[in-house]
């Protein structure tokens, strides 16, 4: 009999890894809610009082290294989930879905359109989206990271892009809008599609006349096409997930003393968790309890241990990222809020030994409190004009307005010109957008009567 040996690339995502990814994406308020839910659902989990926690830490210092852990009583199992494994239990049952996030909702729709063996791959792709629904990494990067063929990743992304409103998983706004037009039935030779494909720069400045001339049609048709484009969704993921609160609770707090910068987690409302002694006792003395009780304890302790471990992993990753930000943004914290170095998510991942998608997932929706305001973690990473971050531009706009002549305040056009003198070239509408995000009123409302 002839033996054959074949090497095969598989995507391996363990339940522990999936849970780690799930908790990593949660901001502090959502994490509080999911901890409350786990405490309600899993009787093996209980809150550890502060005094007890200190005693346990002291005991741990003197504990014999050979002493076994309660998790050693749980039989070893192969938790690896092959991408080809279609007969095992649904891997998405591992993580309880509260609160419902945009990724949860998107995955529910996506799973209806793909093979079960592609669920882990779809989960990874969905978690690589930014808050607007754009894919932050190329198909090639995702395929290399997971050890799968690019065609497989591309197939799932193309399916995702056809989920309402269309364009989720695109790399650019243009790509997303084209996907939405296709979903709405616009043909490739329609004026709307041709405007985006052939006149992108003219569309940005709304030059109806030149667009009409280039596409050999009249201005009325171009204006009609513009109306159709404005009805598209520039942020295709925002319709999914639970409604966000109008207020922000920072996940971290920066402390500055002289030249020293330190931080602490905002964990006042996060309880320390432990496995309940009663269920440990059942596994330690299984002969004293019924078979069903032992199996129940084993299953619940396994899930409890995974949850506690995932919380620790989340904390460790966020700690490294905030330390990286502090190390690379010292001028921002010590000198001026106008000095933000646009950090690369990819370089941060390489430095910390993490995949860039995990960095992106970790910083999404999380905020840091400083002595001079609250800032999103994402604002410290590249998202601006060239080598200038969006936060730096907004800081400069605020500085210009703070120092303007209140009897003759700056118009948005004048701010554009002053930024241009600083080497920052942005459009008037971008200045207006950033000004509104800073809650700064328009020129006429800032003028002293």
Spans of all domains in the chain: 29-77+243-383, 185-230, 390-446
* Predicted pLDDT at 12: 53
pTM: 0.58
CB 81 within 8 A of CB 146: no
- Structural Rg of the chain based on CA atoms: 26
The answer to whether 321 and 364 have CB atoms below 8 angstroms apart is no
Which among 400, 311, 386 is positioned nearest to 22, based on CA atoms? Answer: 311
DSSP element (H, E) containing 257: strand 252-257
Cα–Cα distance, 276 to 304 (Å, whole number): 10
- Return the pLDDT at 385: 42
- Do the Cβ atoms of 215 and 198 come closer than 8 Å? yes
DSSP code of 419? Answer: H
Please, which residues bridge with residue 235 across strands?
Answer: none
Pick the CATH number of 390-446 from 1.10.10, 3.30.70, 1.20.1250, 2.40.50: 1.10.10
Q: Which residues of the chain have pLDDT under 50?
A: 1, 4-11, 56, 59-68, 70-99, 243-246, 383-386
What's the pLDDT at 73? Answer: 45
């Amino acid at each position: 009999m002839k033996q054959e040996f074949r090497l095969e690339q598989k995507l391996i995502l363990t339940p522990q890894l999936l849970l780690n990814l799930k908790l990593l994406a949660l901001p502090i308020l959502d994490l509080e809610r999911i901890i409350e839910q786990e405490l309600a659902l899993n009787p093996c989990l209980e809150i550890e009082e502060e005094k007890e926690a200190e005693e346990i830490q002291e005991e741990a210092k003197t504990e014999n290294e050979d002493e076994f852990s309660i998790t050693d009583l749980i039989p070893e199992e192969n938790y690896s989930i092959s991408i080809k494994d279609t007969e095992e239990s649904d891997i998405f049952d591992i993580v309880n879905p509260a609160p419902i996030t945009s990724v949860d909702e998107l995955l529910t729709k996506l799973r209806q359109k793909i093979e079960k063996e592609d669920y882990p791959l779809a989960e990874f792709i969905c978690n690589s989206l930014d808050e607007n629904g754009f894919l932050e990494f190329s198909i090639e990067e995702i395929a290399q990271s997971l050890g799968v063929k690019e065609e497989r990743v591309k197939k799932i992304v193309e399916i995702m892009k056809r989920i309402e409103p269309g364009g989720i998983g695109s790399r650019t706004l243009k790509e997303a809008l084209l996907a939405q037009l296709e979903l709405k039935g616009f043909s490739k030779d329609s004026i709307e599609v041709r405007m985006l494909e052939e006149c992108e720069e003219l569309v940005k400045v709304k030059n109806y006349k030149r667009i009409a001339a280039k596409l050999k049609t009249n201005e009325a048709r171009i204006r009609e096409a513009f109306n159709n484009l404005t009805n598209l969704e520039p942020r295709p993921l925002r319709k999914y997930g639970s409604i966000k609160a109008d207020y922000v609770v920072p996940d971290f707090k920066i402390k500055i003393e002289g030249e020293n910068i330190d931080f602490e987690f905002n964990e006042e409302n996060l309880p320390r968790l432990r496995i309940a002694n009663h269920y440990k006792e059942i596994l330690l003395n299984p002969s004293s309890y019924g078979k069903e009780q032992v199996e129940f304890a084993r299953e619940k302790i396994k899930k409890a241990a995974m949850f506690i471990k995932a919380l620790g992993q989340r904390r460790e990753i966020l700690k490294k990222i905030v330390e990286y930000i502090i190390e690379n943004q010292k001028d921002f914290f010590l000198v001026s809020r106008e000095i933000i170095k646009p950090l690369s998510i990819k370089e941060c991942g390489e430095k910390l030994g993490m995949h860039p998608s995990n960095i992106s997932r970790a910083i999404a929706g999380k905020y840091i409190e400083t002595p001079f305001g609250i800032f999103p973690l994402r604002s410290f990473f590249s998202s601006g004009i060239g080598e200038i971050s969006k936060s730096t531009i907004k800081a400069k706009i605020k500085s210009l307005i703070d120092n303007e002549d209140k009897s003759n305040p700056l118009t948005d056009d004048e701010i554009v010109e002053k930024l241009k003198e600083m080497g920052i070239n942005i459009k008037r509408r971008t200045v207006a957008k950033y000004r509104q995000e800073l809650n700064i009123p328009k020129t006429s409302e800032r003028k002293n009567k």
